[in-house]
Amino acid sequence: MAKQDRAIRTHRTILLAAAKVFEERGYQAATISEILNCAGVTKGALYFHFRSKEELALGVLDAQDNHFHIPRRPCRTQELVDIVMLHAHRLQTDPMVRASVRLAMDQMATTLDRTGPFQRWSQLIQEILENAQTQGELLPHIHPPTTSDVIVGSFAGIQSMSQAFTDYNDLTTRATHLLRHLLPTITQPPIITNLHLTPTRGAHVHQETQQPQNQPTTTTTS
Amino acid sequence: MAKQDRAIRTHRTILLAAAKVFEERGYQAATISEILNCAGVTKGALYFHFRSKEELALGVLDAQDNHFHIPRRPCRTQELVDIVMLHAHRLQTDPMVRASVRLAMDQMATTLDRTGPFQRWSQLIQEILENAQTQGELLPHIHPPTTSDVIVGSFAGIQSMSQAFTDYNDLTTRATHLLRHLLPTITQPPIITNLHLTPTRGAHVHQETQQPQNQPTTTTTS
């Protein structure tokens, strides 16, 4: 294994351990020693990649929205549906994404800037909305930054409620309910009637992104 | 002061102290000794009212939705707007409500049943929606339990995002954006054009409920 591959693998191992410890203990209570124990790497290896608990947390926070690719669609509103439903699917299936979202919602982490994921998600959704607007898909009154904040904020609450009630089991269903309540005030009616919007949509998009021809060409650490 | 009044006052003092300690330390880390210190009451007094940390937490959780009265309106959709905007206003101004919501959103409180406030809010909103439906205010496809869960879940996320970005300063504005995105898919258009829906609506309703003729006649502890 090349030196660079090893470094990438160690980086990933440490982040997974940090994610696990933050999820179990919360940001405030978690310690670097616990993360070291859980990762099974040397102190030197850990500090080579991350200089502090905060850097570890920011690395975990990044995991939910970095390298987030969805296939390009002729209808941009479908991309909006796909990215929301894919995120719901990943929350159900990927422990790293789950840990990242929990950390972003950790109110006790007062010394940690948790606005990053909210901002990056909002930026991502805003771009999709702007493209949809250019293509004439949106209703005339829509202001992409405002609508994007509404989508990101409301999804954050829906996932929190799903976690409290069913440990995410009903999340994809709740996500379709949310989109069915929001999209008619955002998009032109003929667009809505042509959308693929079912609870299994996220799993379908995930499978699509796993096909070799749809892989991003950039090297990623995830 | 009558014996009963004193008991009510002590009950309230203890709950306020518990709210403060849970908010600062999180449910898991908080201890009964810290709550005792903060409340300045005897151990006997505390255990007379609450038998455990869990009971204290459930008492704090109750505070956000108990004794929640809004004036009756001819238009039931206005009641829906009023209750959401009043809650946003109370989150900005009432430390007890703020502590209660933070506790409900405390993911580390794994041994505490945090579904109570979500369920009670959902029930409350569902009743308003059912009344609105009976009066013909809603669009034909609306299923009150589903729509109610969407409103409660999305508000929970909007308040969390507002807390992370501005410590609740922009919450009433964010709440109006949310309602403006949701109501057109819930309510008949002529209803919507007649709604009072501004960021100051919650403060206005709060003032109204402080008028003696609008006070609930039942004795409350808050």
Give per-residue pLDDT as tens, B99-108: 888 888 776 6
Task: State percent of chain A over pLDDT 90.
Answer: 63
Q: Quick one: closest CA in A to B158, which residue? A: A153
**Model ipTM?**
0.84
In the prediction, which pLDDT does B1 show? 59
Per-residue model confidence as pLDDT tens digits over B144-199: 999 999 999 999 999 989 988 898 999 999 999 999 999 999 999 999 999 999 99
Higher pLDDT, A133 or A215: A133
Phi, psi dihedrals of residue B187, rounded to the nearest 5°: -115, 155
In the prediction, which pLDDT does B46 show? 93
Q: Are B77 and B142 within 8 A, CB to CB?
A: no
Position A67 confidence tier, pLDDT thresholds 50, 70, 90: low
For residue A93, pLDDT beyond 50: yes
Higher pLDDT, B214 or B116: B116
Which residues in chain A touch residue B146, judged by CB atoms under 8 angstroms apart? 177
Tokens, residue B102: 């933070």
Consecutive H or E run containing A203:
helix A201-210
In the prediction, which pLDDT does A104 show? 80
In the prediction, which pLDDT does A214 show? 57
In the prediction, which pLDDT does B25 show? 82
Domain A3-62: give its CATH architecture. Orthogonal Bundle (1.10)
Position B219 confidence tier, pLDDT thresholds 50, 70, 90: very low
For residue B122, pLDDT beyond 50: yes
What residues does B138 pair with on adjacent strands?
B187
In the prediction, which pLDDT does A111 show? 75
In the prediction, which pLDDT does A218 show? 42
C-alpha–C-alpha distance, residues B150 and B173, integer Å: 19
Which residues in chain A touch residue B154, judged by CB atoms under 8 angstroms apart? 153-155, 157-158, 178
Pick the CATH number of A76-214 from 3.30.450, 1.10.287, 1.10.3470, 1.10.357: 1.10.357
Domain B3-60: give its CATH architecture. Orthogonal Bundle (1.10)
In the prediction, which pLDDT does B217 show? 44
- pTM value is 0.85
Place of tokens 């009630």: A165
Position B214 confidence tier, pLDDT thresholds 50, 70, 90: low
Q: Which of B107, B158, B185 sits opposite A184 (nearest CB)?
A: B185
Q: Which of B107, B110, B122, B167 to mutate to test the interface with A (most CBs of A within 10 A)?
A: B107
Position A24 confidence tier, pLDDT thresholds 50, 70, 90: confident
Q: Which of B114, B146, B161 sits opposite A177 (nearest CB)?
A: B146
The domain limits of chain B are 3-60, 76-214
Task: State percent of chain A over pLDDT 70.
Answer: 91
In angstroms, what CA-CA distances link A20 with A27, B80, B179? 11, 40, 36
In the prediction, which pLDDT does B221 show? 38
For residue A220, pLDDT beyond 50: no
Calculate mean pLDDT across residues A72-94.
95
Using the beta-carbon criterion (under 8 Å), do A184 and B181 form an inter-chain contact? no
Please, which residues have CB within 8 angstroms of residue B12's CB and are 6 or more apart in sequence? B221, B222
Per-residue model confidence as pLDDT tens digits over A139-187: 999 999 999 999 999 999 999 899 888 989 999 999 999 999 999 999 9
Calculate mean pLDDT across residues A35-50.
93
Question: From chain B, which residues contact A within 8 Å (Cβ)?
Answer: 25-26, 28-29, 102, 105-108, 114-115, 118, 146-147, 149-150, 152-165, 174, 177-178, 180-182, 184-186
A-B Cβ pairs (cutoff 8 Å, strict): 122
